Chains A and B, each alone.
Chain A
Amino acid sequence: MIPSKKIEIFCGTGGVGKTTLATSRALKLAQTGKKVLLITIDPAKRLKQILGLENANEGEVIQLSNDVFGPHSDNIFALLMSPKATLKRMASLSGAGESLDNPIINILTRPYGGMNEIMAIIEVQYQISTNNFDSIVLDTPPGKHFIDFLESTQKIYQFFDKSFVDIFKYLGKKFTNENEKEKTGLLSLLVQTGVKKLLKYLEKVTGESFVEEFIDAISGLYRNRKAFTDALAFQEHLKKPEESNWFLVTSVDQQKVSEASGLQLDAQKFMHKDSYLVVNKSLMPYLNAWQPNESSTSLVKLRNSMKERENAIKGMATEGYKEVLFFPEILGTEPKSHVNELAQSWS
């Protein structure tokens, strides 16, 4: 079996069975005695039901019972990502919790409020730092959003850059956990004047209350910036082959091979070279066994086009991968036994 690592990351375009495969990997690791945390972002309702996450509070780590996938299922812990829960824990850890109780932050951390990716990175890094698990299996958001997910560490960095600090200094917000001295040089004065002008312009467009609340929101985030900058370490884990396994998942019924390969190119700058391409829902064994009557040209055409589709995906794997893993299409089983069957394919 592919040796387990601290982080096992599953990515790929949507609808390829990423979550189910990630779950099957978690099950396989659990069956070999590892304690595994399975983190999912926005899974299908059925899988939520199966994992027992449906009635769980979002952001809570749930231990599976052995009823779920049979023996050793209780080595699996599952977590459904919730920006709000992450924010809450962040606040309680930083001791500056009240600073995050702000109308703007509350809206942005709603499930579709727009801070999902960044909060997810913070959550994952936190779970890594607790050292509670042998492996963390991470199911990432689909497609381009996965790139957003990875890039969010970069965004965090940009957000807390120097120009930002100057804005606060101008605004005179007090950072009680800061001991930074006021800068009174000409340069920062110039920056300050610029900021003042900028906010005046902005106020016309946005209304007055917004600017005030926005400044509070930003200063709240700034006071909790340790959680954000700590999360930058996540990217480092992902670059080290000894710490992470990358599984780039694609599936034969994908409608857009070109997009999947484009995604690969984008992802490669975040990945290390020891990565796996996973081709899911492969029909090849069935197609190879099928010999349609030569006279029925439309059936021959169908078989050939299905084979071609699969070969096109295989063709993506020409470079940059340690190994290509095929998982057969599993026809007509319940999701539970589906996960079990896939788990067996990992050996």
Chain B
Amino acid sequence: MKVDTTNYLSLPFILSNKKPRLIIITGKGGVGKTTLAMAITKAYESVGKKVLYNCFDQPLNNSLSRNLNLPHFLLKMEDSAKEYIANKLGSETIAGWILKTPFFSSLFNMLPGLGHMILLGHIINKLEEDPELTIVLDSPSSGHALTMFESPQNFKEMFRSGLIVEDIKRMEDFIFKADQMKVVITALPTEMALQEAQDLELALKQRRVHDITHVVNDLLKICPSLEGSTSDELPDFLNKKISMEEELLKNLDSSWRLIPHYTHDKPSSIIKECSLLLTKEMHDS
């Protein structure tokens, strides 16, 4: 099987001409977002960049993170909210008091968007404090990712004035100012998954997110274990799967980046391999 490697996802491609400070990995559940986010973080680190991984409102995969020695930080919604309010009111006691009322704790529960916005605000603060830092955000899956991007606008309309609105504007400045944020949409090679990735991309563009890279993950067609094998050595179902992939790829323009199917049993090995792929050109040259 002959493989054209020019369309592989690579770190130089992610960075091409721009230096995004916030890289958000999104897509449907189960498409390999965490693998890719961790691989990008490790690739960044390996070329000497200051980078941190964050899993937003999802729990961190501790064993994987330890295994990889992954540079990361964690945020807790309640703590972020408390810090924010304390900052605004100049009193941690009052902030703690407000958030302890059953009313406010249930308000945060009812409205995940409010929590997302506070987390995103916290992340942007961190980036503004340290101009050398890049954050790779393993974001919630598509639906909730849209909530995350839509929340600043929604809450701005709700609050209209006051300190929060000023902060939201500052957040939006960061998000929508060219070259600071990149979104990587990940999909699996099935017709429906690709369609959904395209729908998500459109929805993000409607929300003024423009720097988007789309990726097809888990491709058998370029699987390293199949390199050098001819189609008559492969069983029918694999040939069929590969030809289905080829059919799908034909309909995608050349801006789509590819990631192979890896044959490892350990997730950490797959992440390491993927991180090597991302920096391959840089090591070669």
Closest 4 CB pairs of A and B: A14-B29, A207-B162, A114-B113, A207-B161
Asked if A127 is at the interface (CB within 8 A of a chain B CB), the reply is no
What is the CB-to-nearest-CB distance from B249 to chain A, in angstroms, rounded to a whole number? 15
For A251, give its contact among B30, B114, B228 (CB under 8 Å).
B30
Identify 23 residue pairs between A and B in the complex whose beta-carbon atoms are under 8 Å apart, listed by A's number: A14-B141, A15-B30, A42-B143, A44-B196, A47-B192, A104-B158, A112-B113, A112-B146, A112-B147, A114-B114, A145-B143, A159-B110, A161-B106, A163-B101, A201-B89, A201-B94, A204-B88, A205-B85, A210-B159, A256-B30, A258-B267, A283-B237, A309-B265
How many residues on the B side are at the interface (Cβ–Cβ under 8 A)? 75
Complex-state Cα separation, A160 to B163, whole angstroms: 28
A206 touches B229 (CB 8 A): no
Cβ–Cβ < 8 Å partners of A253 in chain B: 30, 188, 218
Q: Quick check: which of B45-53, B119-127, B149-157, B169-177 contacts chain A, the rest being far away?
A: B149-157
Cβ–Cβ < 8 Å partners of A108 in chain B: 111, 113, 154
For B244, give its contact among A143, A207, A331 (CB under 8 Å).
A331
B225 touches A44 (CB 8 A): no
Complex-state Cα separation, A42 to B160, whole angstroms: 30
Asked if A107 is at the interface (CB within 8 A of a chain B CB), the reply is yes
- Within 234-285 of B, Cβ neighbours of A (below 8 Å) are at 234-238, 240-241, 244, 263-265, 267
Interface of A is mostly: helix
Given known A148-B112, A158-B109, contact A331–B237 (CB-CB < 8 A) = yes
One digit per residue, 1 when the CB lies within 8 angstroms of any chain B CB and 0 when it does not, for chain A 197-218 equals 0100111111111100100000
Cβ–Cβ < 8 Å partners of B235 in chain A: 286, 289-290, 292
For A206, give its contact among B97, B112, B164 (CB under 8 Å).
B164
Cβ–Cβ < 8 Å partners of A70 in chain B: none
Asked if A322 is at the interface (CB within 8 A of a chain B CB), the reply is no
Complex-state Cα separation, A332 to B189, whole angstroms: 12
- Within 33-70 of A, Cβ neighbours of B (below 8 Å) are at 42, 44-47
Cβ–Cβ < 8 Å partners of A331 in chain B: 237, 240-241, 244
B196 touches A16 (CB 8 A): no
Q: How large is the interface on A (under 10, 10 to 19, 20 to 34, 35 or more residues)?
A: 35 or more
Asked if B131 is at the interface (CB within 8 A of a chain A CB), the reply is no
Q: Which of B's residues lie within 8 Å of A, judged by CB?
A: 28-32, 34-35, 58, 61, 85, 88-89, 94, 97-98, 101-103, 105-107, 109-114, 140-144, 146-147, 150-151, 154, 157-165, 188, 191-193, 195-196, 199, 217-218, 223-229, 233-238, 240-241, 244, 263-265, 267
Q: Smallest CB-CB separation from B85: which chain A residue?
A: A205
A255 touches B233 (CB 8 A): no
Cβ–Cβ < 8 Å partners of B109 in chain A: 155, 158-159
Cβ–Cβ < 8 Å partners of B267 in chain A: 256, 258
Cβ–Cβ < 8 Å partners of A114 in chain B: 110-114, 147, 151, 154
Cβ–Cβ < 8 Å partners of A13 in chain B: 29-30
Complex-state Cα separation, A255 to B138, whole angstroms: 14
Asked if A76 is at the interface (CB within 8 A of a chain B CB), the reply is no
Given known A14-B141, A255-B218, contact A305–B29 (CB-CB < 8 A) = no
Complex-state Cα separation, A144 to B33, whole angstroms: 14
For A301, give its contact among B32, B157, B158, B263 (CB under 8 Å).
B263
